[in-house]
Every structure is written in structure tokens, then in C-alpha cells.
Amino acid sequence: MGAEQPETIAAIVAAHRAGTMTPAEMIARTYQRIRDHNDPAVFISLREEKDAIAEAEKLATKDAASLPLYGVPVAVKDNIDALGFPTTAACPAFSYTPTHDSTAVERLRAAGAIIIGKTNLDQFATGLVGVRSPYGIPRNSIREDLIPGGSSSGSATAVGAGLVPLSLGTDTAGSGRVPAMLNNIVGLKPSLGMISTAGLVPACRTLDCISVFALTVDDAALALSVMAGPDQADPFSRDRPLGPLTPFPANLRLGVPRNGQLIFFGDKKAEGAYADALKRWTALGADLVEFDLEPFYETARLLYEGPWVAERYLVIKNLLASAPDSIHPVTREITAAGARLTAADTFSALYRLQGLRKIAERTFANIDALLLPTAPTTYTTAQALANPIELNSRLGTYTNFVNLLDLCGLAVPASMRSDGVPFGITLLAPAGRDAMLASIGRVFHADTKLTVGAKGVPQAPLAPLPAGSVDEIPIAVVGAHLSGMALNGELKALSGRLVEATKTAPDYKLYALQTTPPKPGMLRVEAGKGAAIELEIWSLSSSAFGKFVNAIPAPMAIGTIRLADGRSVKGFLVEPEVLGEAREITSYGGWRKFVAEAATA
């Protein structure tokens, strides 16, 4: 069962479509691997092998080319409903039998995936250690004495051990990222609301998301694209289109914490591994920009010290009242505290969080993504059992703030330390930038030349980006859409890439409009009678260009702009009739200079 067999989703689907392996053979291999791996703590419930094979055989009647996950075996964390399995949340007393699939599982099945089992977790998804379950502790796939990581312990170890190429986890405080690092796999934590949470047992309902474990970034992004999309059944669902993967950008800016702000709890090997990862990013062409991590740490403290614990309490309050002994003692201790919180505590924390969100927004004004260790260190199972709450909270150092600040995240393997402990980094960006994180994370992971998971399987060369991504249209922006300005996030959310900064021909005048947020209007005048105005050219896919232009409000318009070097490009102009009450600011030569001067005035 070595590297000659298809391991990744991409390789498995290709083998099935080519006929070199059938979905039924793949499913049979999966069950053989589960038997060989021989860890009863990975799955809480496993489907009958003959049923899974029968489903795989039925797929043969379908059009393989139309099914992105054709015959791919998938494991699902046991706090997500899947028809035919009980949902336990790792608490037998809580167990129920769902009457239909969760939306995420339904979409996976519709794409040709075959659900083979429900995986173990830290009970009620409370924990980053993976040792808080009555169903046992899954073995870490890389080093057996280490914790598997939680709460999605079974899902991460199943992918790391090569039992399945894809599994679903959940992520409220880091449960889709910490176990990914600990098993040398990719953990994708999407923007909140991108994957429906209908059919998910909540941990903190306002912060939960379903996450993806896979061996490569491309596999994880494919799975996300299948599950993403709004859902009437989930009031927290948001329409967040996933943009295409794009080439590595020319001027990527990654945020790294200021000197002295990183915490590794004395783990020098982790500290060295992070420093090496920064060098790798620099070699790939990224600019590293320092930022203040302290507000993010403060946000992280709110998660367990603030009122969000009450959300965990709401899920199990009836069980706490009727059968408290059925709940894991550590989970019980953490969750029971939620009963003592008041409405005043909640509003006080929400006000503070809103302030912290504004600080985070400013941080991202001139940074594309944060680049952090996935976890500061790691622990053995024995250490975690001896000191369950403190060590668990240390593992959340760089993860607990993410959903509170509405960020998306991608955890990627970075290196294997000399002591055999895997180390990983996480990229974080404002919601909606999932495709951008995948586009840069895939290049970094490939550059590490690490094998995938625990089986020593080499990474295949990076797949060329689909031809569609070359179908790009340039657009010139002169004001609030410039890098670091108020509306630049709109371009990034559509996976726009900055191509260059340049100037117009000297044929334009610039005006400050009375809009919210403040914007300039650029007007074409007689050739040579205006000034050269600074602008940026961004590139959008044709579908993103259509969406972007369609959303532009009056008095802005898209027209043809002549550049200083004689080229023409589509870009922002203004309708002249609104300029009566606007202030002319042509002499500043550009919006950025005007804004900077206005700020100091």
C-alpha cells in the first residue's frame, strides 16, 4: 500500500475516471487500511463495508466527469449529522439518530463522495487535545506518544494515517487547525457561514464552522468548493462565493508579530521551526510586515473567560441537570461555568469585541494575511491528562481569536522537527479571502517538499491552475479600492490581484466626493489639460469583474482610462453632474496623498 497507489483526492478521482481503479476497489482498500491501522478510537461508528461497496458500485452508472469527488471515501466528525449513523458528540447519553444528512454531508454525497464513518472527538467539541472522549484516545498518526489534537481528533488522525483522503471536522476555537498540525496534514477553516452548519451539534453557535482535513491544499479547496454556498436551513449561512485559485501574487504582504510577542512556552524547536518558515516565505517572494499581536491575544482570552462559554452550556444544560456524570469531568467543569454568566457580562464582552474587531480591520489594511504558528508547542497524551485545562488553553494561543474576529484560516504543514514532532503555520485573513489563502498556501506547502500525512507519501507536483484563471480582466482603481484603503477588501474578496501601480496620462482631474466612505471622482478633460493621477491596476477573473462592476454605485462609472505609457485600461471615472459640490484635489496627484494630508490637518 505504498506511494504507487492514489492517496490524494485528486489522484483517486483521476484513477477512478481513468478506470485504473474502481470506486468499489477504493472503498475495499479503505476498510482494509482501517483494519490494518487497528485503532478502535478513530471511529465512533463505521458503516458496514458491504453497504459502502454497494454504494460505490452504484456510482458506476453516473457521469464521472460531473462528480468532483467521484468515489472518494470520507469520514465525518461525530457532531455532524449523516444519515444512517447516530450522532453522539462523543457522549453516549446525548446520542440521537438524525432523520436526514447535514447540508455539508448532503453536498459531499451529491458530488460523489462515500461516507464511511463517524469519527471521535473531544466531547461536545470542547478541547484542543483530543483526549476527552469516552470512546478512547485516537493515536497520533505521526508519533504515538503525542496527543492527536482536538477536538477533531478522529477526523485528523484518519487523514494523517491514510485511512481516508478527506474528512470533516469543526472549528470554533482551533479544532480544525491544531490537529492538522499534529498529524502533518492541511486544515482549512473557512469563513463563517460559508459552509452551512445545518445539522451540526453546536459548540458556540455564533462561532462554529465545519472544517476540512486533507493531504493537500488543492484537495481541501476542492472539498470547500463542493460544500460552500448559502442554505435556507441555516440562519447563520452567508452567501460567500469561493473565488478561483490564482497564481502566487507579486507583492504579497504577510503579517508577523512584533519582536517579543510570540509565545512558545519554552519550546525552542518550535521557535526555530517558525523562524525557518518565515525564511521560506521570504524566499518565495513575500514581504514580512510587523503587526501588534496583543489585541488578538486579548480577543482570544474573551473566548473562554467571556460569555461564549454560555453557548456551550446551552447545548448540554438539560444533560447537566439530568445526568451530569455522563459528561466528561473536564468538559463539565468548563461548561458549567456558563450558567453563571449574566446578560450584562455578555453585552460588556460584545462591546469590547467590537472595539477589537476595528483594531483587527486596521491591521489588515496593509497586510494580505497573518502568518502565525498553528500552535506554540505540543504535548504528550500523558502530559495532557495530567494538566488538562492549562495545556489545552496553551494550544489555543494562536487559534482562539480567529472566529471571534470573523477571519478565515488555513493550517499548512511547515516542517518535521528533529524530534519527530510536526510543525505547521496558519495563514489568517478577513472573511471571504479563502481562495487567496489557498492560492498562497498551496505554493508554500509544495515548496516544503514534505511528504503528506504519516505514510511517507511524496507530494505530487502542484497541478497547473485551470485555464479559467488566465481569463482575467484588468481594472484601474484610483480611490477607496487602492491597497490599504477602505474598500480594497472588495477586490480581495473576489480574489483580485494587484498587477502594478502606475499613473494616468495628464488628461484627468480628481475631485473629493461627499460619499460614505469618502471616495474621489476622476474626470477626463482635454488632452494635456489635466494631471497624471496615481492609480493601481488590479486583475479580476471575468466572472468576478462582472460582479464587481455590477455592484458599483452612482455616481461612479467604468470607462476607458489612458495610462502615462499610452496603454488603455478599464477603470473608475465619475459622472460630471455631481461635481458641483465636490472639491477639486487634482494638485495632490492622487487620492492617497490627499487622504494622508487630510488626516494630519
- E strand or H helix at 371, and its extent? strand 369-373
Query: Of the residues 133, 151, 191, 541, which is catalytic?
Result: 151
DSSP state string for 153-217: HHHHHHHHTTS-SEEEEE-SSSTTTHHHHHTT-EEEEPPTTSB--TTB--SSTTT--EEEEESSH
Cα separation of 572 and 570, whole Å? 7
Percentage of residues of the chain with pLDDT beyond 70: 98
Nearest Cα neighbor of 297 from 424, 377, 405 is 405
Q: Is 151 a catalytic residue?
A: yes
Nearest Cα neighbor of 43 from 114, 119, 148 is 119
Q: What is the pLDDT of residues 250-271, one digit of tens each?
A: 889 999 999 999 999 999 999 9
- The whole-number average pLDDT for the span 506-528 is 92
**What 3-state class would DSSP assign to 373?**
strand
pLDDT at 198: 97
pLDDT surpasses 70 at 72? yes
pLDDT at 1: 36
pLDDT band at residue 48 using 50, 70 and 90 as cut-offs: very high
Nearest Cα neighbor of 241 from 432, 106, 405 is 432
Q: What is the pLDDT of residues 90-114, one digit of tens each?
A: 999 999 999 999 999 999 999 999 9
- The whole-number average pLDDT for the span 165-180 is 97
Is residue 421 within 8 A of residue 184, CB to CB? The reply is no
Residue 565 exposed, middle or buried by CB count within 10 Å (0-12, 13-18, 19+): exposed
pLDDT surpasses 60 at 317? yes
Residue keyed to cell 500552535 = 375
Give the cell for residue 13: 478521482
Query: Of the residues 175, 225, 415, 439, which is catalytic?
Result: 175
Cα separation of 91 and 123, whole Å? 6
Cα separation of 15 and 67, whole Å? 13
- E strand or H helix at 414, and its extent? strand 407-416
CB-side neighbour CA atoms (13 Å) of 132: 28
Cα separation of 504 and 572, whole Å? 12
pLDDT at 272: 98
pLDDT surpasses 70 at 183? yes
Q: What is the pLDDT of residues 286-303, one digit of tens each?
A: 999 999 999 999 998 887
Pairing of strands 407-416, 287-291: unpaired
**Strand positions, DSSP E, 29-111:** 43-46, 73-77
> Number of helices and strands (H, E) in the chain?
18, 19
Is residue 540 within 8 A of residue 563, CB to CB? The reply is no
Nearest Cα neighbor of 431 from 411, 412, 403 is 403
Average pLDDT for the chain: 92
CB atoms within 10 A of CB 106: 19
Q: What is the pLDDT of residues 377-430, one digit of tens each?
A: 999 999 999 999 999 999 999 999 999 999 999 999 999 999 999 999 999 999
Cα separation of 193 and 432, whole Å? 10
Residue keyed to cell 478541547 = 127
Point out which residues pair with 512 in neighbouring strands. Answer: 520, 583
Q: What is the pLDDT of residues 457-479, one digit of tens each?
A: 999 999 888 654 456 788 999 99
Q: Burial code of 336-347, b = ≥16 C-beta within 10 A, e = fewer?
A: bebeebeeeeee
- The whole-number average pLDDT for the span 277-288 is 97
Query: Of the residues 45, 77, 155, 509, which is catalytic?
Result: 77
pLDDT surpasses 70 at 277? yes
CB atoms within 10 A of CB 538: 26
pLDDT at 469: 46
Give the cell for residue 482: 487602492
Cα separation of 596 and 601, whole Å? 9
pLDDT at 205: 86
pLDDT band at residue 542 using 50, 70 and 90 as cut-offs: confident
Is residue 460 within 8 A of residue 8, CB to CB? The reply is yes
